[in-house]
Each structure stands twice: as structure tokens, then as C-alpha cells.
Amino acid sequence: MKISELSRRSGVPIGTIKYYLREGLLPPGTHTARNQAEYPESTLHRLRLTRALIAVGGLSIAATGNVLRAIDEPVTLFKSLGMAHCALPPPFPTEAHEDVEEEFNAEAHALVEAAGWTIVGNTPGIASLAAGQKALSRLGIKWTAKDLLPYAKLAHAAARLDLDQTAGIENRIDMAERAIVQTVLLEPILATLRRLAQEHEAARRYAPAGQAVDLEGSE
Amino acid sequence: MKISELSRRSGVPIGTIKYYLREGLLPPGTHTARNQAEYPESTLHRLRLTRALIAVGGLSIAATGNVLRAIDEPVTLFKSLGMAHCALPPPFPTEAHEDVEEEFNAEAHALVEAAGWTIVGNTPGIASLAAGQKALSRLGIKWTAKDLLPYAKLAHAAARLDLDQTAGIENRIDMAERAIVQTVLLEPILATLRRLAQEHEAARRYAPAGQAVDLEGSE
């Protein structure tokens, strides 16, 4: 298809598509005539994915390029997921990772061990966890591995659901793509669900008597 | 204490503290002499909270001001949490909330109902959920309320843990503050935990034979 059809079917403006092509986020088309190129159906698919990572996942152009390369690498899913996690911006701003004392790193490792997780390679997750624990500690919330373990167990249950979703996918690239889409796009969905559940729980526990809150059947 | 002590004990530069004072994020001190002001211990506490929301939570100055005002409102926890959620930036970029069709709003409401949640007031959560479902759908992942329900149940379990943490706090402002700190700062921690758990699960399920991955005792 031509670039105009790519644009029409994806809803992404032609100028933006040209920008993605220049940045190497999309494979170049086949030149059919002077200033004319033809793109296969797979480019439309890749364009939609690129758009979602940037506009919904909030990734930068550079991070998106790294994540797409991780998907295309001819490695196993667990390796490609690890590469994608390294390419993703960490959940905390860079500033939060500075000057994190060794005690918080030790707590992060203790939590991973208590959760029974085998973490291979240089995952950025441990440093993020340590940064988060330091931030809480500075506000007087000293959470040890033991305090965070119930949350780790819930996160593990979520990860099992994630991996179950990709289990039936035959093609390795499709599987890696699906796994990464789920990591990036489900993160804000899960955060939203937790906020909604907090509102429900807070209303259930603390709504003043007489306030018109229907709690029947909520538990 | 003087502003120099505030700076020393919080690690926040004096220039930044003056900026927060000008923006109304911190209450003004008591003037003791020309160009000299005295601040109570509570200002140090508020300064640490402000700093964490901005530097770790990634909130803007405006959003931080709104969240701090929600904490100070003389209302119940469930109301103050709702106000804070409205003040927080939504987990999705603004762009993702545009042109979301009614079918996705309906799915979002269906999910909240299936989860048994009573949501009062104009929470931004429903619109965020609809935006997320639309984004997944454009990538060919059509998840209905039924598919997302297992994730909603995990989010509910996390929210129960969150509210349990604040249950023993007597002072209403301390309780609201703690609830909001947990919402904002635990979000990236939970996202990090899920990524780590995904890496563990992917290694457990897909690590190639012969690769030196110790999985003993991981389950």
C-alpha cells in the first residue's frame, strides 16, 4: 500500500509516518517510482504498535526504537522481554535513582529473594525498587522486604496472567510483541484499577453515615 | 528553624525551597527580622512530602499544589482521596483520552460493575480505563470486562493492603497524607515488581535448556 493508505488506515498523519521512517522505527518501503514507495501489511501493523508505544505508553522515540529492536531480536521470549525492560524508561524519574544507599539495594535484593524470583542478567528493576524504598523511607515509611512481600505476591499473580495471555502464540515475534505491549499498556491500566479500587474501599470503610453511598453487594 | 536548616535537614537547595514558598506549596514562615523567617518542624515534613511528589512521583508543581490542598481539606479520607485522584495526572497521556468511543466507556463501566465497586463522584478513573481499552483494541487486543476482571481483583487486593496500612492512623491529615503518598509512590514500585515477576516467569517458562538459570525453589 502507499503511504496515504498507511495514514488513512492507522489514523497517523503522513508527516508523522515520514518522521518515524526517518528515525528508523518503520522499515523502508519498496520504491516503485520516483518518490513513490509501497509498504506491506506488516508495516501498518508495526505503525500501530509504534504509535501506541509513543502516544499511549508515553515512550520517547529513542526508547520506542530500542523496544522495537528487542522485539525483532532472534532470541527467546525471556531474553527479548529482558531487553525490552532495559529499553523502557524506569517507572521512577532518573533523579530518584541518584545516591541510593547500599541498605536500600540490600532490601531490594531481600525482597526479590523472599518472593522466590530468579532474576537473570542486569535488570534495571532492582535499582528502581531500591530508589522507591529510599523515597518512602525519607518520608518516614520504612518498609522492609517483609512489608512489601504481599505486594510482590500480587505482582507475581499479575505476571502469571500476563504470561498466560501470550502462551498460545506460535510466532516468536508476535509473542514478544504481545508480551511487551502488555507490559507497557497494562501498566497504566493496572494503576487506574488500583485507584478505582482504593476509592471503593475508602468509601466502604470511611463514607460518613447518611451519605448516599450504595454499598449493597459490594463485598 | 531557619530556611538554611530546612535545606540542610531535607537536602533540598535553598533556591528550590524559596520557589516552593512562592508557588504556595509550603506555608509562609513567621517573620522574625528583616529578611529572616522562622519555620516550624511541620514545614520540614511538608517540604519532604512536596519533594517526594515532584522528584519521585513525577508530579508537576500545579498537580502537587492540588494534591497538597486535597490533603489539607477538612473532609473524610474517602473524599480527600477522591480529590487527590482528580488532582493527579492520569496514568495515560492526555492524547490517549481523545475521541474514545462510547463502547469503551461502556466496557469500563461493565468492568467496575463486575468488580463490585461502588464509585462515587466524578472520578477520572473510568475515562482512563476506557482510553486504555481503546488503545489495546487498536492493536487487535479486544479485552472485555470479563478478560480484565482477574486484573481488577488483584488491584482490589492491593487497595485493601493500601487501606489497611492507614487504618491505625489517628490524625485525619496524617492519614490522608499517608494514603496519597502510597497511591503516588507505590504505583512505580508496583510496576517495577510486575516487571521483575514477568522476567522471573518468562525465564521459568521459556529459558532454553542448558542456560545457567537456577530455578530450584522458585515455585
Q: ipTM score of the complex?
A: 0.86
State the pLDDT at residue A82: 80
Q: Is the model's pTM score more than 0.90?
A: no
Q: Helix B102-114 and helix B145-166: axis angle, to 10°?
A: 50
* Closest Cβ opposite residue A200 in set B117, B150, B198: B117
Give the three-state DSSP class for A36.
strand
pLDDT digits (tens, 9 = 90+) for A125-141: 898 999 888 888 888 88
pLDDT digits (tens, 9 = 90+) for A163-193: 898 888 888 788 888 888 888 889 889 999 9
CB A156 to CB B90 under 8 A? no
A146: Cα within 13 Å, side-chain hemisphere: 1
CB A163 to CB B205 under 8 A? yes
Inter-CA distances, A88 with A5, B33, B214, Å: 30, 51, 26
Closest-CA residue to B94 (of A38, A162, A113, A55): A55
Question: Is the separation of the CB atoms in B72 and B180 below 8 Å?
Answer: no
pLDDT in tens, chain B (219 residues): 999 999 999 889 999 999 999 999 999 999 887 778 999 999 998 999 998 888 888 888 998 998 898 888 777 777 778 888 888 888 877 777 788 888 999 999 999 999 999 887 678 889 899 988 888 888 888 888 888 999 999 999 999 999 898 888 888 788 888 888 888 889 889 999 999 999 899 888 887 654 544 433 343
Q: Does B33 touch chain A (CB under 8 A)?
A: no
CB A218 to CB B163 under 8 A? no
* Closest Cβ opposite residue A82 in set B141, B190, B199: B199
* Closest Cβ opposite residue A185 in set B135, B151, B186: B135
Chain B CB contacts of A128 under 8 Å are 188-189, 192
How much is the average pLDDT of A111-127? 87
How much is the average pLDDT of A130-154? 89
Chain A CB contacts of B81 under 8 Å are 198-199, 202
Cα(B189)–Cα(A129) distance, integer angstroms: 6
Closest-CA residue to A49 (of A89, A12, A81, A95): A12
Cα(A1)–Cα(A44) distance, integer angstroms: 9
CB A156 to CB B117 under 8 A? no
pLDDT digits (tens, 9 = 90+) for A62-95: 989 988 988 887 777 777 778 788 888 888 777 7
Inter-CA distances, A53 with A7, A90, A183, B138, Å: 17, 15, 11, 12
Beta-carbon count within 10 A of A94 CB: 10
Question: To the nearest whole number, what is the mean pLDDT of chain A?
Answer: 85
Cα(B137)–Cα(A180) distance, integer angstroms: 15
Cα(B18)–Cα(B90) distance, integer angstroms: 28
Q: Beta strands A36-38 and B30-33: pairing type?
A: unpaired
Cα(B185)–Cα(A16) distance, integer angstroms: 34
Q: Indicate left, alpha or beta for B3 from its phi (over 0: left) and psi (-120 to 50: alpha).
A: alpha
State the pLDDT at residue A26: 95
Q: Does A60 touch chain B (CB under 8 A)?
A: no
